Chain A
Amino acid sequence: MKEKFFERKSVQSVTASIVSILIGLIIGAVVITIVGLSDSSLGIDSVKEGVSLIFAGLFSTGRNAAGTLTWGFNGQNFGNMLFRATPLIMTGLSVAFAYKTGLFNIGAPGQYLMGTMTSLMIALSLPSDRISPVIIWIIAFICAMLAGAVWGAIPGFFKAVLNTNEVIACIMTNWIAANLVTWLFDISNLKNEVESTKMGYIYKTTYNGVATAKLGLDKIFMGSQINAGIIVAILFAIAINIVINRTTFGYELRACGSNRQASEYAGLKSKRNIVFSMAIAGALSAAGAALYNLAGNTEFFWSTYQSLPAIGFNGIPVALLASTNPIGCIFSAIFMSMLDIAGLQLTNLTAYNEYISSVIVAVIVYLSAFSLVIRNMVVKVVNRKKEGGKK
């Protein structure tokens, strides 16, 4: 019995995500229209421009001499989109991986911070005149992953041993990370590695000659921040997909996540596996942080311990929008970054501001939480069509 195209679960998941996205975009367009029509300085032409930028901001190339919007391939937009997507893919993978093994990793921001701190400190303190920057990059990346793994393993450990809720423990470790990172930056002698006059702590790894290889991607996407990090992130997504679905290790983690008791009956070490799952999730988040901060064209600006990195939290909508499929995370992260780019275009080219794109992201995040409901709606439509076809 072969399943029809729309009866496949994967197709239904993707359809549900696309429906969420479309509803989000349409609501964004509606907001733009309302704002545009109610503000005398904007008007119907601005509305048209705003809506088109929301849907196709990625392909915007600015305005011509006549003042109308021009369209086409914009390498800078594309490159920046992929660059911004890189850490999001990793935090999305982190959440998705934990979710596949029955855990909710809301600790990605904390793990991301630990990765940030570790990668920066190593990249800036190892002497690049004696050690090749490539080696420093690799050491910094690996150590960041280890730090993230430790940070992820802590809530996992408490869940395994004391059966505490991993969500609560993750929230606590997030704030512990925020304070710990502030404190460690504070006592380190690596303060303000860019300009000593700036407030807060600012770091830039190129100060020590460390930067992610570009592999010629900057030639394709001229003027953008892109580097090989996106390739690393995609390879991670593929690897995680394989680990979860094709290996005995992934099987064991999924089994313990789906039914801990049955797994224990089968002699699997469920406690150990919970710790492993969370450690891997933590390592993935931290790897995202390393990819971002080691890029070479980013500054890490740390002024307060009272905020947690949004990229960490955004891993949750990335994973949900992808129905926690690792490969899907690549696309959902790229899509979320695309909205960012569209928002920037909106700010640069029209009187609207970028927060419109935040509205759209918010709607999509909200709907992605309902992805199951939407999926059921899709299933219903499919079934009705099928029955209709029979009669």
Chain B
Amino acid sequence: MENSQDYVIEMLHITKEFPGIIANDDITLQLRRGEIHALLGENGAGKSTLMSVLFGLYQPEKGQILYNGKEVKINDPNDATALGIGMVHQHFKLVDVFTVLDNIILGAETVKHGFIQKAEARKKVEELSEKYGLHVDLDAKVEDITVGMQQRVEILKMLYRDNEILIFDEPTAVLTPQEIEELMTTMKGFAAEGKSILFISHKLNEILEVSDRVTVLRKGKYIGTINTAETNAQELSNMMVGRPVQLEVVKDEAKPTDVVLKTEHLTCPSHIHKNKKAVKDVSFELHKGEILCIAGIDGNGQTELVRAISGLDRKGVTGKIIINGEDVSGAPVDVHSKNMSHIPEDRHRHGLILDFTLENNMVLQRFKEPQFQTRGFINQKAVREYSDRLIEEYDVRSGQGSITIARSMSGGNQQKAILAREIDRDKEVILAVQPTRGLDVGAIESVHSRLVAERDKGKGVLLISLELDEVLSLSDRILVIYEGEIVADVKASEITAQELGLYMSGAKRMERKEA
């Protein structure tokens, strides 16, 4: 048995209930000093709830929290901060219009005679950022810096407060592969220094790479804690999901047939710099029965391309878009969506109406169809039945079924709901933009197999993804986009990750024959 002095934080037998659901059911988590402890679980497994309990945002019904072996009561985040607990939230808590420095010192300002001592603060932040290699422009406004830098600001915030226990809530969900690499190095550096890290994630390879031990939760229950060195991805994912999981995408060779989506010399203006072009002369063809992936590092024109193809952007867009044989260039969204499903990148902003019930979200494009209305009156019963069927078929989990408010659902289930809605619309083209972003392996598996199934039914799937693993395993053909241009057009089976990386970073390009 280990001495309890080894643990800096122990959460013992924590139980936290919400109406209709037990989010944490007798969960124990023990964090050693100087270790990176991963907390693994599917969406809705109770990871965030457990961390919110530790951070003082929720009070558990049962259980106790020990700090250095002594019981403590954490009533609010101030108590947590006093214990040296810091957290990088999945959605950053930064003031957009403040500078980086202001954000870092916010709430922990050094004050002399009522005046903020910015020079002192600046010195301390500069030292920290130098020491840990966390480079940021202290005078830039947060709204102007990249997501990766914003995360560094969050990390610096914790360091500035001399936190010894650092919680990272799904920190890699928003990062590019390079940024993830840097973050891993930083985290290891912290641990080597004696700081203790709780790393919440559902990305197995990251957990295997960086953590010392893993605690697995499933549906609010504690499954076990194991040493990372003694396990592998398959075992972890089985623990997490509760059944053997297929980590590799299983699919047959694609049998592409007719062209179902075609762009000709598509050029789109940039969203950030109005005068620049974000997409330059892009021509490609998507066939029925294939998954075509547009791969690239974030910000190389994918957003603009998607908005043009879906009909959201029309201003300044030149070139042709042909969906299912119909030229839809310059037409509004509903003309595009007549033959195309769209799984948008940002499910909160674009995919769902968060204040609507799940059932109302399920019919967002379809409520005017005859089956859901009679003379302008919504057929509530038909909507309910339809929604119940989708929930059943696509395993969308929520507190109250069809009448759940979308906002209260977990991210993974929100995504499943969007997927259910879009796939069930049964259109020739499926435009899937980062369909597995922020999802756990169980959910990723189901999204992937759904998309493959749709492909096999003869649909054309246009996948936009930033994740190399997904690009390589799911797609049949890959187009690499770099600075708005297609720089490679290859079969997925004929390219390696390294080579793909070279194309994505612009180090290499392929001469294409005109599509």
**B365-416: which residues lie under 8 A (CB-CB) from chain A?**
365, 367-368, 372-373, 376-378, 380, 400
Are A258 and B367 touching (Cβ within 8 A)? Answer: no
Are A247 and B353 touching (Cβ within 8 A)? Answer: no
> A248-B368, A265-B310 in contact; A255/B353 too (CB < 8 A)?
yes
* In the complex, chain B residues whose CB is within 8 Å of the CB of A264: 312, 333
* In the complex, chain A residues whose CB is within 8 Å of the CB of B130: none
* In the complex, chain B residues whose CB is within 8 Å of the CB of A10: none
Contact mask for chain A residues 261-276; partner B; CB cutoff 8 A; 1 contact, 0 none: 1111111010000000
* In the complex, chain B residues whose CB is within 8 Å of the CB of A248: 367-368, 372-373, 376-378
Q: How far, in whole Å, are A265 and B340 apart by their CA atoms in the complex?
A: 12
* In the complex, chain B residues whose CB is within 8 Å of the CB of A259: 349, 352-355
Are B376 and A262 touching (Cβ within 8 A)? Answer: no
> A261-B349, A267-B334 in contact; A247/B378 too (CB < 8 A)?
yes
Check A385 for interface membership: any CB of B closer than 8 A: no
Are B352 and A262 touching (Cβ within 8 A)? Answer: yes
With CB as the reference atom, state the residue of chain A lying closest to B335.
A267
Check A246 for interface membership: any CB of B closer than 8 A: yes
Q: How far, in whole Å, are A258 and B349 apart by their CA atoms in the complex?
A: 10
Report the minimum CB–CB distance from B316 to chain A (whole Å).
17
**A223-251: which residues lie under 8 A (CB-CB) from chain B?**
246-249, 251
> A1-B400, A258-B355 in contact; A265/B368 too (CB < 8 A)?
no
Please tell me which one of the listed residues B332, B333, B336, B378 contacts residue A251 in the complex, with CB atoms under 8 A apart: B378
Q: How far, in whole Å, are A249 and B367 apart by their CA atoms in the complex?
A: 10
Q: How far, in whole Å, are A192 and B365 apart by their CA atoms in the complex?
A: 55
Are B377 and A246 touching (Cβ within 8 A)? Answer: yes
> A1-B20, A247-B376, A249-B376 in contact; A262/B349 too (CB < 8 A)?
yes
* In the complex, chain A residues whose CB is within 8 Å of the CB of B312: 264-265
* In the complex, chain B residues whose CB is within 8 Å of the CB of A261: 349-350
Report the minimum CB–CB distance from A390 to chain B (whole Å).
10
Check B60 for interface membership: any CB of A closer than 8 A: no
Are B332 and A267 touching (Cβ within 8 A)? Answer: yes
Report the minimum CB–CB distance from A376 to chain B (whole Å).
15
* In the complex, chain A residues whose CB is within 8 Å of the CB of B368: 248
Check B360 for interface membership: any CB of A closer than 8 A: yes
Check B171 for interface membership: any CB of A closer than 8 A: no
* In the complex, chain A residues whose CB is within 8 Å of the CB of B19: 7
* In the complex, chain A residues whose CB is within 8 Å of the CB of B378: 246-248, 251
Q: How many residues does chain A have at the interface if contact means C-beta atoms less than 8 Å apart?
A: 20
> A247-B376, A248-B378, A251-B378 in contact; A265/B350 too (CB < 8 A)?
yes
* In the complex, chain A residues whose CB is within 8 Å of the CB of B132: none
Are A255 and B364 touching (Cβ within 8 A)? Answer: yes
Check B356 for interface membership: any CB of A closer than 8 A: yes
Q: How far, in whole Å, are A246 and B311 apart by their CA atoms in the complex?
A: 29
Q: How far, in whole Å, are A267 and B335 apart by their CA atoms in the complex?
A: 8
Find the residue from A7, A252, A259 having the highest chain B CB count within 10 A. Answer: A259
Are B377 and A262 touching (Cβ within 8 A)? Answer: no
Are A265 and B356 touching (Cβ within 8 A)? Answer: no
Check B436 for interface membership: any CB of A closer than 8 A: no
Check B150 for interface membership: any CB of A closer than 8 A: no
* In the complex, chain A residues whose CB is within 8 Å of the CB of B311: 267
Report the minimum CB–CB distance from A101 to chain B (whole Å).
12
Q: How far, in whole Å, are A263 and B356 apart by their CA atoms in the complex?
A: 12
* In the complex, chain A residues whose CB is within 8 Å of the CB of B377: 246-248
Please tell me which one of the listed residues A246, A249, A266, A269 contacts residue B380 in the complex, with CB atoms under 8 A apart: A246
Q: How far, in whole Å, are A266 and B334 apart by their CA atoms in the complex?
A: 7
Q: How far, in whole Å, are A266 and B19 apart by their CA atoms in the complex?
A: 32
Are B350 and A262 touching (Cβ within 8 A)? Answer: yes
With CB as the reference atom, state the residue of chain B lying closest to A102.
B355
**B4-40: which residues lie under 8 A (CB-CB) from chain A?**
19-20
Are B356 and A255 touching (Cβ within 8 A)? Answer: yes
Report the minimum CB–CB distance from B361 to chain A (whole Å).
9
Q: How far, in whole Å, are A1 and B312 apart by their CA atoms in the complex?
A: 41
Report the minimum CB–CB distance from B332 to chain A (whole Å).
7
* In the complex, chain A residues whose CB is within 8 Å of the CB of B356: 254-255, 258
Q: How far, in whole Å, are A265 and B309 apart by their CA atoms in the complex?
A: 12
With CB as the reference atom, state the residue of chain B lying closest to A256.
B353
Are B342 and A265 touching (Cβ within 8 A)? Answer: yes
Check B300 for interface membership: any CB of A closer than 8 A: no
Check B289 for interface membership: any CB of A closer than 8 A: no
Check B337 for interface membership: any CB of A closer than 8 A: yes
Q: How far, in whole Å, are A247 and B360 apart by their CA atoms in the complex?
A: 12
Check B460 for interface membership: any CB of A closer than 8 A: no
Check B86 for interface membership: any CB of A closer than 8 A: no
Check B484 for interface membership: any CB of A closer than 8 A: no
Q: How far, in whole Å, are A258 and B348 apart by their CA atoms in the complex?
A: 12
Check B344 for interface membership: any CB of A closer than 8 A: yes
Find the residue from A249, A251, A265, A269 having the highest chain B CB count within 10 A. Answer: A265
Q: How far, in whole Å, are A262 and B364 apart by their CA atoms in the complex?
A: 9
* In the complex, chain A residues whose CB is within 8 Å of the CB of B337: 266-267
With CB as the reference atom, state the residue of chain B lying closest to A1.
B20
Q: How far, in whole Å, are A255 and B377 apart by their CA atoms in the complex?
A: 16
Report the minimum CB–CB distance from A108 to chain B (whole Å).
24
* In the complex, chain B residues whose CB is within 8 Å of the CB of A249: 376
Report the minimum CB–CB distance from B205 to chain A (whole Å).
32
Please tell me which one of the listed residues A7, A247, A254, A262 contacts residue B351 in the complex, with CB atoms under 8 A apart: A262
Please tell me which one of the listed residues A247, A251, A265, A267 contacts residue B344 in the complex, with CB atoms under 8 A apart: A265
Report the minimum CB–CB distance from A154 to chain B (whole Å).
24
* In the complex, chain A residues whose CB is within 8 Å of the CB of B355: 258-259
Please tell me which one of the listed residues A1, A246, A258 contacts residue B353 in the complex, with CB atoms under 8 A apart: A258
With CB as the reference atom, state the residue of chain B lying closest to A9.
B405
Are A265 and B360 touching (Cβ within 8 A)? Answer: no
* In the complex, chain A residues whose CB is within 8 Å of the CB of B351: 262, 265
* In the complex, chain A residues whose CB is within 8 Å of the CB of B336: 267
Find the residue from B20, B311, B332, B377 having the highest chain A CB count within 10 A. Answer: B377
> A247-B376, A248-B378 in contact; A265/B333 too (CB < 8 A)?
yes
* In the complex, chain B residues whose CB is within 8 Å of the CB of A7: 19
Report the minimum CB–CB distance from B421 to chain A (whole Å).
10
* In the complex, chain A residues whose CB is within 8 Å of the CB of B360: 251, 255
Q: How far, in whole Å, are A206 and B378 apart by their CA atoms in the complex?
A: 43
Are B20 and A266 touching (Cβ within 8 A)? Answer: no
* In the complex, chain B residues whose CB is within 8 Å of the CB of A251: 360, 367, 378
Are B365 and A266 touching (Cβ within 8 A)? Answer: yes
* In the complex, chain A residues whose CB is within 8 Å of the CB of B372: 248
Report the minimum CB–CB distance from B321 to chain A (whole Å).
15
* In the complex, chain B residues whose CB is within 8 Å of the CB of A252: 367
With CB as the reference atom, state the residue of chain A lying closest to B342.
A265
Q: How far, in whole Å, are A267 and B353 apart by their CA atoms in the complex?
A: 14
Report the minimum CB–CB distance from B272 to chain A (whole Å).
18
**A256-299: which residues lie under 8 A (CB-CB) from chain B?**
258-259, 261-267, 269
Q: How far, in whole Å, are A262 and B422 apart by their CA atoms in the complex?
A: 14
With CB as the reference atom, state the residue of chain A lying closest to B361.
A262
Report the minimum CB–CB distance from B175 to chain A (whole Å).
24
Contact mask for chain B residues 322-344; partner A; CB cutoff 8 A; 1 contact, 0 none: 00000000001110110000101
Report the minimum CB–CB distance from A261 to chain B (whole Å).
5
Q: How far, in whole Å, are A262 and B310 apart by their CA atoms in the complex?
A: 13
* In the complex, chain B residues whose CB is within 8 Å of the CB of A258: 353-356
A-B contact pairs, 29 of them (CB 8 A): A246-B378, A246-B380, A247-B376, A248-B368, A248-B372, A248-B373, A249-B376, A251-B367, A251-B378, A252-B367, A255-B353, A255-B364, A258-B355, A259-B353, A259-B354, A259-B355, A261-B349, A262-B350, A262-B352, A263-B364, A265-B342, A265-B344, A265-B350, A265-B351, A266-B365, A267-B333, A267-B334, A267-B336, A267-B337
Taking A258-B355, A263-B364, A264-B312 as known contacts, 12 extra A-B pairs with beta carbons closer than 8 A to each other, sorted by chain A number, are A1-B20, A247-B377, A259-B354, A261-B350, A262-B349, A262-B350, A262-B353, A263-B353, A265-B342, A265-B350, A267-B334, A269-B332
Which 5 residue pairs across A and B have the least CB separation, nearest first?
A267-B334, A267-B333, A266-B364, A259-B353, A265-B350
Q: Residues of A at under 8 Å CB distance from B? A: 1, 7, 246-249, 251-252, 254-255, 258-259, 261-267, 269
